[in-house]
């Protein structure tokens, strides 16, 4: 995807003395007292800000935080804790500015944090008047917030329409690059793992990927529904019988292209959904009426691991079993380790997938870990994210 990159503007000497407006994703989790419980997003946003400052820009940064009511500023919606933490991490004071839409005072070499942008009336609905006012605050607009790239809001879309220059920050650019490497011009074979709890939440992804990938590995509750489609019995396992026809359509679409959806050959079952429930490995054909399938079996896991090791590109969303319970984590761990060991370029995303990656400590061995949950899933669905669309349109002049 062709977008203007902030790093290129810096390299071309076009940032010194300019007013730069950065839309970051600083939406960190907080406890009831407002303390930040996890600051990854703040840390991840700092490189772009540092680069802008080093290049001699006057820097304004904003983000949403939580779900404020537009037009009603409440203390709990304030970015104050973020300003404080950012200041600690950067070793400088980060001034927080409220009511900033009509004008911001900031000089080259200075950094100000602009209060929660979702407090501004018209932000969510991408009001044009608001967008124009925000665009007028800067010479260069930088979008570095992949987590909100699937939303067309004032600070993610409208401002990009009207700012003199609109470009992608380093975090957003890295996501764009990883996604195009994995999906636009992938090294083949391209293998996708779509697993997790429900077919219904990932049906669009399964359909979109079935037109692209060479292998589509299903797991978790999703695999159970595919097992039903293959005529297998799954006992009391989590599945969506009303989506069997849809699963069959995905299998058929893959078959028509000479590709396959491997159905598990063996599974790990239990009598109840609990961490201490005894685990039994069974052939997929032998699942009893009172069995709960909670993981793929070791034979299946080993076969899939071989397929992943031979892949050119791997896309991973969803654990293939109830990996939160150690007795049913073997399949997900095997998949995770196979991805880590594979020479393929890999990209992974999804809340529970990220938890699995952390559990097995393979962060460094995955090609790219996407931080934008909803935005990542929409990319897999084959959608063009609004933030990407407007930035690429602006790059065409």
Which positions lie near ligand ADP, rule CB under 6 A?
A: 196-197, 220-221, 238, 293-294, 317-319, 321-322, 324, 350-353
Is 372 part of the annotated catalytic residue set? no
Q: Which does 147 bind (CB under 5 to 8 A by kind): Mg ion, ligand ADP, none?
A: none
Phi-psi region of 15 (alpha: psi -120 to 50; beta: other; left: phi over 0): alpha
39 vs 352, beta carbon nearer ligand ADP: 352
Identify the active-site residue in 95, 124, 132, 198: 198
Q: 114: which strand partners? A: 62, 97
Establish if 17 lies at the interface with Mg ion (CB under 5 A).
no
**145-160 b/e (C-beta count within 10 Å ≥ 16 → b):** bbbbbbbbbbbbbbbb
Phi-psi region of 213 (alpha: psi -120 to 50; beta: other; left: phi over 0): beta
333 vs 352, beta carbon nearer Mg ion: 352
24 vs 293, beta carbon nearer ligand ADP: 293
Establish if 199 lies at the interface with Mg ion (CB under 5 A).
no
Nearest position to ligand ADP, beta carbon? 196
158 vs 319, beta carbon nearer Mg ion: 319
Is 351 part of the annotated catalytic residue set? yes
68 vs 196, beta carbon nearer ligand ADP: 196
Comparing CA positions, the residue from 61, 166, 178, 59 lying closest to residue 394 is: 166
Nearest distance from residue 6's CB to ligand ADP, in Å?
30
Is 198 part of the annotated catalytic residue set? yes
* DSSP H stretches of helix in the chain: 6-11, 40-54, 80-90, 128-135, 159-162, 170-179, 199-210, 220-229, 244-256, 298-309, 330-341, 351-359, 373-380, 386-395
Q: 325: which strand partners? A: none
Identify the active-site residue in 87, 367, 374, 382: 374
Establish if 194 lies at the interface with Mg ion (CB under 5 A).
no
Nearest distance from residue 373's CB to ligand ADP, in Å?
7
Q: Which does 249 bind (CB under 5 to 8 A by kind): Mg ion, ligand ADP, none?
A: none
Nearest distance from residue 165's CB to ligand ADP, in Å?
35
Q: Which does 159 bind (CB under 5 to 8 A by kind): ligand ADP, Mg ion, none?
A: none
Establish if 144 lies at the interface with Mg ion (CB under 5 A).
no
Is 383 part of the annotated catalytic residue set? no
Comparing CA positions, the residue from 53, 342, 347 lying closest to residue 184 is: 347
Establish if 352 lies at the interface with Mg ion (CB under 5 A).
yes
H/E element holding 143? Answer: strand 140-143
DSSP annotation of 188 reads S
Cβ atoms of 19 and 58 within 8 Å: the answer is yes
Place of tokens 């989790």: 29
Q: Which does 221 bind (CB under 5 to 8 A by kind): Mg ion, ligand ADP, none?
A: ligand ADP
Helix, coil or strand: residue 113 = strand
Cβ atoms of 143 and 172 within 8 Å: the answer is yes
Establish if 103 lies at the interface with Mg ion (CB under 5 A).
no
CA distance 1 to 276: 48
215 vs 220, beta carbon nearer ligand ADP: 220
Nearest distance from residue 251's CB to ligand ADP, in Å?
19
Identify the active-site residue in 23, 41, 151, 202: 41
Q: Is cis: bond before 189, omega within 30 of 0? A: yes
Q: Which does 317 bind (CB under 5 to 8 A by kind): Mg ion, ligand ADP, none?
A: ligand ADP
Cβ atoms of 201 and 243 within 8 Å: the answer is no
Q: Which does 297 bind (CB under 5 to 8 A by kind): Mg ion, ligand ADP, none?
A: none
233 vs 359, beta carbon nearer Mg ion: 359
> Quick one: which of 351, 355, 361, 384 contacts Mg ion (CB under 5 A)?
351
CA 156 to each of CA 123, 149, 211: distance values in angstroms, whole numbers, following the listed order:
9, 7, 30
Nearest distance from residue 174's CB to ligand ADP, in Å?
20
- Sites of contact with Mg ion (CB under 5 A): 351-352
> Which residues belong to the active site?
41, 198, 351, 374
């Amino acid at each position: 995807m062709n977008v203007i990159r902030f790093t290129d503007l810096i390299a071309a000497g076009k940032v010194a003395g300019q007013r730069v407006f950065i839309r970051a994703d600083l939406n960190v989790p907080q406890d009831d007292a407002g303390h930040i419980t996890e600051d990854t997003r703040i840390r991840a946003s700092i490189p772009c800000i540092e680069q802008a400052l080093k290049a001699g820009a006057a820097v304004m940064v904003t983000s949403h935080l939580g779900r404020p009511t537009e037009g009603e500023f409440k203390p709990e919606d304030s970015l104050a804790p973020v300003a404080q933490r950012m200041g600690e991490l950067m070793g400088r004071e980060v001034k927080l500015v409220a009511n900033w839409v009509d004008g911001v005072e900031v000089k080259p070499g200075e950094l100000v944090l602009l209060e929660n942008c979702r407090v501004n009336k018209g932000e969510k609905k991408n009001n044009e008047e608001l967008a124009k006012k925000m665009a007028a605050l800067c010479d260069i607009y930088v979008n570095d917030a992949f987590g909100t790239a699937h939303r067309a809001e004032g600070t993610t879309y409208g401002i990009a329409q009207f700012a003199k220059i609109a470009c992608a920050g380093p975090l957003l650019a890295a996501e764009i690059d990883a996604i195009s490497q994995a999906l636009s011009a992938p090294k083949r074979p391209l293998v996708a793992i779509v697993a997790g709890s429900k077919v219904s939440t990932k049906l669009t992804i399964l359909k979109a990927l079935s037109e692209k990938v060479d292998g589509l590995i299903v797991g978790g509750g999703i695999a159970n529904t595919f097992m039903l489609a293959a005529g297998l019995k799954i006992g009391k396992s989590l599945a969506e019988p009303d989506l069997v026809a849809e699963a069959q359509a995905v299998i058929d679409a893959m078959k028509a292209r000479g590709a396959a959806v491997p159905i598990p050959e063996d599974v790990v079952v239990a009598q109840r959904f609990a961490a201490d429930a005894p685990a039994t490995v069974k052939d997929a054909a032998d699942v009893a009426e009172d069995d709960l399938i909670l993981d793929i079996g070791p034979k299946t896991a080993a076969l899939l691991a071989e397929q992943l090791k031979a892949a050119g590109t791997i896309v991973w969303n969803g654990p293939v079993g109830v990996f939160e319970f150690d007795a049913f984590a073997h399949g997900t761990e095997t998949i995770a380790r196979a991805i880590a060991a594979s020479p393929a370029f890999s990209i992974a995303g999804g809340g529970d997938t990220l938890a699995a990656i952390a559990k097995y400590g393979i962060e460094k061995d995955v090609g790219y870990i996407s931080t934008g949950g909803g935005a990542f899933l929409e990319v897999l669905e084959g959608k063009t994210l609004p933030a990407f669309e407007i930035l690429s349109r602006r790059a065409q002049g």
